[in-house]
Each structure stands twice: as structure tokens, then as C-alpha cells.
């Protein structure tokens, strides 16, 4: 589980390839996008390293990407002493209505593909001392979608459970983004 992953949504293989590129078989993992570049020299306006993207190319997905962030949370179950928190069970008093109200699954976890916004509940665990559910909220200011959810155990303590989930942020080109070729000719989207 990587902490953060950047992913280009529509990668392409380059039009021109070197011998080493073919030898190492990089076509199996494309990592860039082909673009037609027009260089306008010596106009009255010196734009330095500014660039402009064609609107229809943008609408077809040029430069679109995603950022995946992974989180790991301990649920505090374990055989070492009496644990205070545990996963939600359907028989717990008053939990099912609270889960439906907060748009969570029957196990207290978010649905895959669910959109999370700031302050919205993203997890529910059961407090065995207070005998009621405890909700945690999504902290990021930017909305994101749940990509996957994992429950993980420990080999030494089979009753120990931790929760791992990955969320996806969409990243589309906006003014001020920097683009670059493999040779370092970078330009800022104006």
C-alpha cells in the first residue's frame, strides 16, 4: 500500500523510440502523452515559457490524472487486555440507523466509489465502554472518492484488526500547471 500515487489517465507510447526503449520493452508501461507543439517566434508579446492547450484536447482528457492517497487506522481490537473499540456489528444497539444516515456500509466502512467531502463520516467503530458508535470524519478540504477498503490483521495477534483505505482525487489541468517534455522544455499553462 503506497502512501501517495500519481497516475496519468490516458498514457501513450512515444511516436519516436530509441533502441534502448525497444530493448527494455517500455511500450508495456507508457508514461507520457504525445502532443503537437507550435512554437511562435518573435511576436510582440514575449510569453517566456507559457503554453496554451487546445480546448477540444482538454475535453478529450489531455493531461488529466488522479492522485491516490492511502490511510491506515488501528481499530484497537486485540487480545492484549480489554480493548475499547471494535468493528461495528449489526446486533449493536442503534447502529444500523446511524450507519444509513451517515451513508456507511453495515460494517461501518464507506462504500467503494462513494464521494467524501470535508466533515462527512468516513468510518464508524463501536465504543464498548460507552456502548455507542463512534464516527470519524473526513479531514481533507478537497472532495475525493473511495477507491478501495481493506481490513488487515496481524500474524502474531489474530484478533487485532486495522483498517486501510485508499481515496482518489481527480486532477485536471488548470491555469498555472507546469508541463514538461522528457528533455526539460517546461511550460506553464496560461
Structural domains of the chain, ranges and CATH numbers in brackets: 4-66+172-189 (no CATH), 72-170 (2.40.50.150)
Q: What is the pTM of this model?
A: 0.80
Q: How confident is the model at residue 79 (pLDDT cuts 50, 70, 90)?
A: very low
Q: Above 90 in pLDDT, residue 4?
A: yes
Residue 28, Cα to own-chain centre: how many angstroms?
A: 23
Q: Which residues contact 69 (CB under 8 A, 6 or more apart)?
A: 3, 4, 144, 166, 167, 169
Which of 13-17, 92-96, 119-123, 173-177 is least confident?
92-96
Residue 44: the pLDDT is 58
Which of 20-34, 88-102, 123-137, 148-162 is least confident?
88-102
Q: What are 88-137's pLDDT values in tens digits?
A: 776 776 677 778 788 888 888 899 999 999 999 888 888 888 888 888 88
Cell numbers describing residue 133: 458508535
SS3 call for 88: coil
Amino acid at each position: 500500500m503506497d502512501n501517495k500515487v500519481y497516475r496519468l489517465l490516458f498514457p501513450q507510447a512515444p511516436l519516436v523510440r530509441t533502441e534502448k526503449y525497444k530493448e527494455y520493452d517500455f511500450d508495456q508501461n507508457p508514461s507520457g502523452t504525445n502532443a503537437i507543439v507550435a512554437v511562435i517566434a518573435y511576436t510582440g508579446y514575449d510569453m517566456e515559457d507559457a503554453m496554451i492547450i487546445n480546448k477540444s484536447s482538454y475535453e478529450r482528457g489531455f493531461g488529466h490524472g488522479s492522485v491516490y492517497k492511502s490511510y491506515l487506522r488501528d481499530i484497537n481490537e486485540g487480545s492484549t487486555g480489554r480493548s475499547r473499540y471494535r468493528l461495528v456489528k449489526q446486533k449493536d444497539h442503534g447502529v444500523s440507523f446511524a450507519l444509513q444516515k451517515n451513508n456507511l456500509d453495515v460494517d461501518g466502512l464507506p462504500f467503494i466509489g462513494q464521494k467524501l467531502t470535508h466533515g462527512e463520516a468516513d468510518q464508524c467503530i463501536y465504543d464498548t465502554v460507552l456502548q455507542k458508535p463512534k464516527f470519524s470524519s473526513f479531514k481533507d478540504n478537497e472532495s475525493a472518492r473511495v477507491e478501495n477498503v481493506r481490513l488487515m490483521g496481524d500474524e502474531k495477534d489474530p484478533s487485532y484488526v486495522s483498517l486501510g483505505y485508499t481515496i482518489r482525487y481527480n486532477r485536471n489541468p488548470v491555469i498555472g500547471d507546469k508541463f514538461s517534455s522528457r528533455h526539460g522544455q517546461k511550460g506553464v499553462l496560461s
